[in-house]
Structures are given as structure tokens and as C-alpha cells.
Structure 1
Amino acid sequence: MTDDHSWADTLLPSLPDDADDVADLRLGLPGEQYDEVEAFGGVVDGNLVGDPAGDAEHWFEQAANGYCVPASIAQIVSEYTGVHHADESAFVARANELHLFEVAPGGMPGMGIDGAHALLEDAGVPAEIQMGIGVETLAGYLAEGRRVMLAVDGDEIWYGREDADGADHAVVLTGIDADRGVAILSDPGTADGNRMEVDLDVLAGAWADSGNTALVCDFPPDREPAAEPAPHPASGRLADVVSWLVERPYVVLPVLLVGRTLLRRHL
């Protein structure tokens, strides 16, 4: 397990109790969101978002205390790119090159959320830091096929007790089963961390210690939203029609040629 307290440097004040979000989530996601999840095989028994089984293939236990962030990022990169990383060594080395590690008060190495963001994007995975979001928002991201890393209080997840130092650990959220009221984690900080199930209330409390801080990846390359087609000009609006034609000279040319042919025939 890890005793990395470097996340404490990046925390916001604790948010109000997240119980309402958890209660709402257990009612299930909107029907249209279920359709979206089912399209990529992320629904089991009608109420599971995410892909815990697929993500489990990339789990490993971190090699040392303080490596929870590079270990979590290694797993996310494996999931996002399909290129498997068996450990966090390459990401630890890269973090050292980029001077992203910090030293916690007890002398333990660690990495804050800004460093985690920099390391993930350096690996080619676009992401953003989000704070103050709720469990329902996380479920929506999983439904879209996105990868999510959370800053949490490890003691609350492992032992059911709150750490006075607040959030000190990073985990990958791989699924939310609203029917059973559990979150599924890929936790590199313990030998039992692969597909670890944590009660949603417990997760909400542990995550609140970081001000509900998450690192949220963009859409995977194969799940990018389709670009909207160019609008067709509205009939009866001359200015719009002219503008549309000017932007597309290949449409104007055949019209002119036909017009000249007709004129010659009449002369």
C-alpha cells in the first residue's frame, strides 16, 4: 500500500456531503445514456457503466510508496492506446525527466494533480483537471468511454477510517454499478486492488477529501463524436445562398457552363 500524502498540497476545501448524488445515481442513468453505453458493450445487467473487465488486464501493483500516480497513469495509457505497460517504471523515469515529483512532509516522493496532468498529456493522452464534480458526472464520463483518475483518501477506502492528512492516493475508476451501489476501482496501492469494489458512499467520502478532484481523459480515438455535416443553405434567404455558393466554387462552375451553352443556342 502507499502512504503518499503529496495530493494534500493540491486539495480544495472539502465539499458538502455527496449523499444526494449517490442516492440519485442508484436510481439509474437516463435511458438515452444507457443506449450510448450499450453501444460499446459497457452495460451488464442494465446498470453498470465502464469496462472493469477490460481494464483489469492492465492492472498491476505499484512498485514503491509514492508511485500511485505514475502507476495509475501507466494503466490509463495502456487502456487508452491498447499498448500494455506491465509496470510504472517508464512513467517514473519520465516524471523524473520532467521534474514532476514532489517531496511530502514525511520525505515520501509523490506527485500533485498538476504533475499528473502533465505526465498523462506527455504520454499522448489529452485530459483535463476537474474539481467539485459529483458521482453522477463520473458515471457519465464512464458511459462515454473516458478514463478517469481520482484523488482519494486511501485509508477510507482500505480501512474505513478517515486520514487526518486528507487525500493521499490516486486510483483509476473503471466502473460504477448503480444496482449494487458500488464503484469498481483499479487501485495500484494494494495487492487486492484489481477490480476492487468500494461502496459508493465510501468512495464519495474518500474522494471528497480532495475536493472531488479528478483527471478526466478526452474521448478515446475510436469514440470521438462525429463531426456535424455542413448546413445546407436555407431557401428564400439570398444572402445565405450567395455566401454558400461563394464558399463552394465547384458548385458555381457547372451552372455557368450550362448557361453559356443555352445562350449560344439562342444566338
Structure 2
Amino acid sequence: MATAPSRDHDRRISPVFLGIVAVMAVSGWAVWTSYASSRGLAVFLFVTSAWVVSLCLHEYAHARTALHGGDITIGAKGYLTLNPLKYTHALLSIVLPVLFVIMGGIGLPGGAVFIERGRIRGRWRHSLISAAGPLTNVAFALVCTAPFWLHALDGVPDDFRAALAFLALLQVTAALLNFLPVPGLDGYGIIEPWLSHAARRQVEPFAPFGLLAVFGLLWIPEVNQEFFRLIYAILDGLGVPDVAAATGRSLYQFWPDLSATPQS
């Protein structure tokens, strides 16, 4: 009888996550109604809070799949509460991905929830646990782009349309990057169970540097250009015009405009 309340507590949605959702809802309303005096600030708050919500759902998907896969310690770690402060590396999971968005408009994935892999039986289960996170980003991207590919944009304000397009861009980049078979990313986690023990041992030392290597490559102009050409092609296939995503990115990164404001 004493374990049921504890289990309920482990799975109760965190007030921290609900607060982030509230910021997303209020700022989204401000973008829709043009209520805020600064269009860019409203878009910034809406997209950033929605991006953090998607990061929480990404990690929740990993944790929930691991729970059903056999790791019954997930609940006690707080991963099922959607509280980003419970992650093993809150800096990597939340702070750095947000900074990457602010700096370059790139939805770079973070990490991670600690899963006791020894409790998981079967290679398919291990692969599914790793795939669950980026598949959440795919689902989020489909939701953001639904008004575009459903041709349901009548009455949607231009700023809100642009914010959705930019948020979709972040989700597509996060999904694509996460699926890369690079050590430290979910794509490698999908294929790792199928590699030989010797191959895994050889790759293991490089895992902490995989994310940094991807980020470094994206700062190379030629690589960045080709990467975003692919991203915009995917968005175009989902009915999102390049100009909508570019406008959303411009509104989001509103701070250059502040320095250009004439001084009295």
C-alpha cells in the first residue's frame, strides 16, 4: 500500500514543466494577437519555451520507453515528471540546446537521461529506446507544419505562422541530427546494440565528443550551407515556404535590431 503513492509521485507532472507550458501558451497568445510591444520578444519567448517543451518530451520518450523495456528505476530518478531539472545533465539537455538555437538557429540535440541498460533485454528494445527521442521531434515537426500541409492557414497571423515555421525548422534539425550514427547521439544508440563488442569498445572513447564534433562541423560554412539546404528541402516537402522559416528566424533573433535602433 505504501508503494502506490510513491509511484504516483514519481509520475506526477512537474510544476516546472507546467510553468514552461504556461509561458509557451501566454507568449503564443501574444504572438497571435500582436499584444506584445516587441514582436521579436514575443516570438523569442514562444519559440524558446516550445523548444524546451519539446526537449522535455524528447527525454520523456526515452525514459518512458526504457521503463516499458525493463528499467524500473526510471520513475525514482524523476524522469517521468517532465522536469528538466531532473535530467542527468541539465546543462547538456536544456541550456546548451537553447544556446545553440540563440546563437545559430540550430536545433542541436542535447542529452540525456541515465538509463540502466543492463536491465534492458533484447537489442530491439535498446534501439527503440534510442529512437523514441528523435521520433518525438518528428512528431512535433508534423504538428508544427500541419497548418501548412493541410492548407489551414486562413486566419493565422503572419507572425504566428512564421514562428511555427521556425519552430518546425528546429524540430527537423533536431530529428535529423539525432538520427546521425555519431557516438553520443541517438542515431548511434540505435545501431550500437547491433555492433560487435569489439567495435563498441573502439568507439566508446569518442562518445563524449560526438556532439561537439557535429556542432563544430556545422560552423563550417560549406557544411552549414548544405545542411540547411537539406532542411529547407524537407520543410518545402511539408508545405513550409523558405520565406516563412527565414522570417521566423529573423523575428526570433531580434537582438541585432536593438543595436540598430536610433539613439535620441
TM-score, normalised via structure 1 length: 0.28
Structure with the bigger percentage of helix: 2
Structure with the bigger percentage of strand: 1
Q: Which has the larger radius of gyration?
A: 1
More contact order relative to length (CA 8 Å, sep ≥ 6): 1
